[in-house]
Each structure stands twice: as C-alpha cells, then as structure tokens.
Structure 1
Amino acid sequence: MQRRHDLDWVRVCAFALLVLYHVGMYYVTWDWHVKSPAASDALEPFMLLSSPWRLSLLFLVSGTATAFLLGKAQRSAEAAGNRARFLGGRSWRLLLPLIFGMLVIVPPQAYYEVVEQLPGGYHDGYLAFYARYLTAYDGFCDADGCLDVPTWNHLWFVAYLWVYTVLVWLLWRLAPRALDAAGGLLARAMSGLGVLVWPVLFLGVARVLLVGRFEQTHALVDDWYNHAQYFGVFLFGFLIARADGVWQAIERLRWPALVAWLASWAALIAYFTRFADADPPEALRMAMRLGWALNQWCAIVAVLGFAHHWRPGDSRVLRYLVAAVFPVYILHQTVIVVVAHHLKPLAIPPLVEGPLLVAITFAACFGGYEVIRRVRWLRPLFGLRTTGYPTPDAPALASEPR
C-alpha cells in the first residue's frame, strides 16, 4: 500500500491544534495546572470548536496506523519465515517515552501546579518536591482534593494508546476471523449514509449511558466513558484502514458533516450559555449528549473527508513534521506550564501574552526536537528509532519519515 499522506497531515495538524488548545487552557475558567490571572470564559466557545472531537480523531488515526503497522509486521515475518514481532516494538516505542516522560518531562508541571494552587504556596524548592514526587507523596492537597504523584498528565494518551494496541493485537492473534468479519460488516454498513449514522448512535449511546456515571479521569482504571469512546473509534479506525468504500463515503459526505458539526457546535454554545447557572431539564440534557456525539463524529468526518479529497502529496516539510510530532507532543505541555508561570510576573496583556506563549512553545519544542534527533541515546526516549527509517509503505503514524 502507498503511504496515506492525508492521514499524515491530519495527525500533524491535530497535534498542532492540541498545542493551541493547551495554551488556551491557561486562559479559560476550566481547571488546569496553572491559570492566568486574566482567565475568563471568553475563549471557551472557541475551545468547544475542537474539544468534543480532537482526541477521538487522534485515536481513530492511531487505529488506522496500527492496522498498517500490523500488516507490515505480518508481511515482513512471512517474508523472513518467522512470527511477526509487533507488540514488542510498539511497546518499546510507547512505554519507554511514557516512563521517561513521567520521571523527567512531567514533574515540572506538577511542581508549578503545587506552587500556584497549594494553600499558602509551596516553598521547599524543586528538588525537595521531586523527592516527594518519586515517593508518591500524598500531602499536596487543597479544597478539591490531593494531587496524585507520580503522574502522566498529558501523556495519558500514550498509555491509553498502548493498552488499545495490546487489545487489538490480542483480537488479531486470538480471533482473526472474527476481526475480519467485523471489518467486512462495518465496511458494508458504512459505505453510504451509515458512515454518519452508526458512529453517531454509538457515541451518543455511550455518552447518554456513561458520562454521568463515570468522571473523565484519564487514570486508565476507572475511566469507562473515555474507554468506550476512545477505544471505540480506535477499533473503528483499525477496521476501516483498507476499506476504500468507507473512505469514499467519508469524502462524499464531508460537506453535510461540516454543516452538522458547525450547527451542533452553535447548539452546544447556546445550551451551555443558557444553563451556565441552572440545571437543564433532564430530557434536554440527554438530547444535548446526543448533540455532543453528533458534533464529535461529524467533525471527524469533515476533517477526514476534506483531507481525503485534497489528497496532499509527499513533501520534505511533511516528512520533517511527521518525525517531529511525537517529541513535540511529549515536550509541549511542560513548556507551556513553565513558560506561562514565569511570564506571569510581567503582567503582559493576554492578547499579547497568548500569541507569545504559542510562539515560545513551538520554538522551544522544535528546538528540543532538533537536539533530540541528533543525539542517539535521546531518540528512543522520545519515540524515535535509534537508526533506520520506515519503508515506503509505512503507516500514517510512523514516528519518522521514510
């Protein structure tokens, strides 16, 4: 198979949007690690443009990439006359950066969260904090509860991605015929309007039944609503990876999906504004949970449909960005937290400080990537191969260009 450059671009743009979103979290009223003194609800409607679907899109593209990776591993094993060694390689590429990130990259986020949010502040310095961080200290508490350390913060995505990869690998090893049958059934059901209808129903039912019962914790063991939606779209991406009819249907329905996405976004804004200080009727609450699912899936179809329609080709810029995505992702939230905290005493107006924070974050992360890719022992700590490059049929989520 040829490389899916459209999915490469989708992944690159989705992670760039993630950086912008996390900068925005500093300026809105929603809970986050550090907060701007000027935080308000002004940006929240724009944050809602992507918050229902951004991570679901990444998990779907990851599922598609996993299908390509698994197929590539199987073909290589058949050519060499041995068994496919897929899970070990994926575990190395995901778990090593996760562990390194929890020990080195993430602790500054937790430190500045404690400095800013602990009653009375925290004055013992970073080294004293880090010693407590490593020993799972449970005394960093405020009125909302205690901070769990060590933590993976934004790297929860990597942990979940590894777990979902293991689950799909087990299905592939233990029930390959059932997996193929499910893929065929899905391809037939989603070759037309079903590509909009069935996923919206699935995501809507999951939200109606689970979101009120299970808090979204990103803690893996108790995050059942997130598992339902994220593993659901991951498995969907895996099953439709080679289903050309589904991708053609996504392309055909890109305009209706775009209209439905924007209309449902406007409805969500109106709903949250109207009931900001009051409880909505229960029937309306359930209806808006379905509206959230409509927004979530139609945005994904619109993004994938336009990317598939435009079919962007290969380029040196794309190859560079594809390689940089994982290191930049690992670094970005720590850069945002640290820089935002140290910009705060300057009292820069938010309209100036926000773009400055975005520019510093991207510059620092890509500067870090330039160092990482040149240092052999650093590369695997950020998900890059020590040597070598993927072959031309590598999947859309390969960490490096061919």
Structure 2
Amino acid sequence: MPAEPLAPPTRRHDLDWIRVGAFMLLILYHVGMFYVPWDWHVNSPRPVEALEPVMQLTSPWRLTLLFLVSGAATRFLFDGFARQGEGGARRFAGSRLLRLAPPLLFAMFVIVPPQTYYEVVEAARGLGVADPAHSPWLTDFWVKYATASGGWCDADGCLITPTWNHMWFVAYLLAYSLILAGLLAAGRRFLTPIQAGLERVLKGWGLLVWPIVWLALIRLALAPIFPVTHALVDDWYNHALSFSVFLFGFASARSEALKAGYERLRRPALILALVAWAGWAAYAWTWRAEDAVPPEALQAAMRLVYAVDQWAFIVAVLGYGARYLNRGGPVLRYLTVGVFPFYIMHQTITVVTAHHLAPLGLPLLLEAGLLIAATFLGCFATYEAARRLGWLGLLLGVRPQPRARRARRLEPLAAER
C-alpha cells in the first residue's frame, strides 16, 4: 500500500471543534423545534412565531455541514486502517458496522420509542381523548411499536414504527460508509488525483462558486420531485446532497490548499451567507401559511438562494475554524467522543422533558432555559454512564478504551466519532 502523498498524518483540530459545535447547535435547534409552530413530535401550547427566522439561520446548512465533517473524519479513520497494510477497506467497513449499527438498533427499540409515545399522546389529546395514557391507543405500547401494529393514524397520515427518528443521520452515515468501503476496496490510488482535481477546480473563488452551482442544480432538479423523507429508500434529493458532501469531505480532508481557501474566503462568505439568510428567511416568513403557494418563478429563485445560504455558511464556518480553532486539549478530547452519545440521547430527553414542562405554565424563558439545561445534563449523564459500561457502551456510542491508552491520554482516533 503506497504511503499517503498528499499531507502528513496530522489531526485537524479545527474540524474536531466544528463537529462538536455542530452537534451542540443541533441540540439547541431541536429545543427550538418545540417552540416554533412547525409540526414536530411534541409542540408547545404557546408557539413563538418570531422564532422561525432564528431557526432558519441554521436550518439550510447544519446537517450538510455535519455530513461534510463526518466525511473528513472518515478519511482519517480509513487512512489509519490503510497504514496497517492490506485489507484496510475491509477493516474500515467492520469498524463502521461495529460503531454505528449497535447504537442505531438500540436507539430504534429503546431510546426512540418515548418520542413516539408522547407524539401519540399529544395527537390523541388533539382528537379529544381525555386520558390518552390509559386509552386503548397506548395499551401495550412498546409491543405495538416494535411490531408495527399501533394503528396510530390521523388526518395527516399514520406513524410507521419501529422508526429511527433523529437517528436517520446515523443510518445514512452507515450506508454511505459501507458504499465508500466498497469503492475503496478497489484501491485508493484515485484519492490523489481526486484531491488534486478538486484543488484545481476550486482554486480561488471557485471554492465558493462551484459547490453553490452543484447544490442549486440538485435542489432545482430533485427537491421538487423527491421531498426529504429520511426513509433511506426514497430520499433521492437528500442522498444527492448528503452523500455528495460526505464524499467531498472525505476527498478534501487532507488538502491544505482547500483549508487555506476556506480561511481566505471566510469574510466574503459570511457576508454572502447573511444576505442569503435574510432573503430566505423573509421568503419563508412571507409564505409561511399552510395554504400559501408561492409563484413558481419565485420558488425556483429561492432554491438558488437556499443553495447560496447552504454553502456560504459552510465556507464561513470552515474558514473561521481553520483560522482560530487549531488547538486541541482535554476539553476537545472529551467532547470529540462525547458528541455521539449526546446525539443519540438528546432528542428523546428534549421531547420527554418538554412534554412534562408544558403543563406547568412557567414563563417561556424559564421553561426554555430548564429544557436546555435538562437536555445537556441528560446528555452528559448518558456519556459518563456509557464510559463506565465497557463494551455495552457501544449501545450509547462509546467504545471502551484500553487502560494504558487512557492513561497516556492520547488523542482519540477518528473511530470515536
């Protein structure tokens, strides 16, 4: 196996910090989902419409950024296996299965069901059921959930169970990783010309322009036909978006030229991103009514604005990260491993806590503060528990570390992502 010729085997602390920040931002976003008047698992009886533009600030790009940095993390992980000799792609695939499949399955049958439970409770109340918890709707709930026999339907459709809800990201990441492993099994010599080609095409302003063109094309061509479902089998626009940026993150992770390009473009990208956000948020606000139908020409124009918003914010985040987030340390080492169990648990904690806080009628700011605090405390508690469970910690996203390695306080491998 030839040595990696493109860059020395150094860590990208900036990408570690960005990944941690993106997951933390996702927790806050899901707390916000309780308060905006958008359909979610549970909704506040006191929705705050004015929060919608704030939510739109990150909605177009946060998950795209996560797939990109996950692709970059996957590159460092694969390179570690490749340096061990032949069979690197096979070992990489086995590592991804071990790290992602157990928490996905555990979450679907243990962690996610409370989200469905309280979604059914609130839907039943909306239909006039006085005590849903003791009604036939929820008798033998888990059995009905696990066997897809709940019959939980209303005018908007039926709940399909078992489900992965927020864990769709992990399911997609696993699928993309296994597809990538199949490609890598044919050899990794193509990585060198691909990175070199990206550096040529994305030189200068191309780093800002050409990805926007790609994002706009797939949004114009695929989004109207294939709305996002998170169902894996029919989610073609989402795959075109998420898999492409995952592969881009994998191919470009070791490029010092692209890293320098992000840093150079960070200020104009941020300005462009804020302008695009203002346009997109104004559009979403103006046409927010359920029966609102924007003109087709305006919809097409806003798909372009959405693509500008997506990539310009990502370039700004990666650029400022490259400029200011190049140091590691114990906090980063702790959080780099911790964000996966945070992700696994956070939405269930938010849904359950929000459902029980709402009837108390607390002032909104106090209620929201308690909900955020409870979610983060629950996530930290989950992580600390998972670190002490040995191999069972895999169910919550933490692989046990040998004692000698922990004592040396080495940097966590990308496999801990």
Coarse TM-score class (shorter-chain normalised):
over 0.9
Q: Does 1:249 align with 2:264?
A: no
Supply the AA of the counterpart residue of 2:335: L
Distance 2:343 2:203 in 1: 34
Q: Does 1:34 align with 2:52?
A: no
Q: Which of 67, 83, 86 is equivalent to 1:59?
A: 67
Report matched runs for 1:3-402 at 5 Å.
3-77=11-85, 85-118=91-124, 119-121=127-129, 122-124=132-134, 128-174=140-186, 176-277=188-289, 278-388=292-402, 397-399=414-416
Deviations 1:145-182 (A, max 9, x none): 00000000000000000111112112212364445433
Determine if contact 2:273/2:309 at 8 Å carries over to the other structure: yes
Q: Secondary structure, in 3 states, of the residue corresponding to 1:226?
A: helix
Supply the AA of the counterpart residue of 1:123: A
* Structure 1 pair 123–305 and aligned structure 2 pair: CA distance change class (3 A): same
Deviations 1:268-299 (A, max 9, x none): 12222333344322222111101100000010
Distance 1:95 1:326 in 2: 13
Stretch of structure 1 that moved more, 240-249 or 140-149: 240-249
C-alpha deviation, 1:386, in angstroms: 2.4
Distance 2:323 2:388 in 1: 36
Distance 2:325 2:37 in 1: 39
Deviations 1:227-275 (A, max 9, x none): 1111111011011011111111111000011001100000112222333
Deviations 1:38-84 (A, max 9, x none): 01321110000000000000000011111111111010235xx9885
Deviations 1:300-336 (A, max 9, x none): 1100100101133111111111121111110100000
C-alpha deviation, 1:394, in angstroms: 5.8
Determine if contact 2:81/2:88 at 8 Å carries over to the other structure: no
Distance 1:70 1:132 in 2: 40
Stretch of structure 1 that moved more, 263-272 or 25-34: 263-272
Distance 2:90 2:110 in 1: 33
Q: Secondary structure, in 3 states, of the residue corresponding to 2:37?
A: coil
Figure out how many residues of one structure are paired with residues of the other and give that number.
397
Determine if contact 1:3/1:394 at 8 Å carries over to the other structure: no
Supply the AA of the counterpart residue of 2:379: C
Aligned CA RMSD, in angstroms, stands at 2.0
**TM-score under structure 1 normalisation?**
0.94
Supply the AA of the counterpart residue of 1:110: T
Distance 1:290 1:239 in 2: 25
> What's the % identity of the aligned pairs?
52
C-alpha deviation, 1:192, in angstroms: 1.6
Distance 1:82 1:151 in 2: 32
Q: Secondary structure, in 3 states, of the residue corresponding to 2:50?
A: coil
Supply the AA of the counterpart residue of 2:333: R
Determine if contact 1:72/1:394 at 8 Å carries over to the other structure: no
Distance 1:253 1:12 in 2: 22
Distance 1:30 1:153 in 2: 16
C-alpha deviation, 1:138, in angstroms: 4.8
* Structure 1 pair 196–360 and aligned structure 2 pair: CA distance change class (3 A): same
Stretch of structure 1 that moved more, 94-103 or 268-277: 268-277
C-alpha deviation, 1:33, in angstroms: 0.2
C-alpha deviation, 1:392, in angstroms: 5.7
* Structure 1 pair 180–82 and aligned structure 2 pair: CA distance change class (3 A): closer
Stretch of structure 1 that moved more, 131-140 or 144-153: 131-140
Determine if contact 1:136/1:150 at 8 Å carries over to the other structure: yes
Distance 1:322 1:221 in 2: 30
* Structure 1 pair 83–204 and aligned structure 2 pair: CA distance change class (3 A): closer
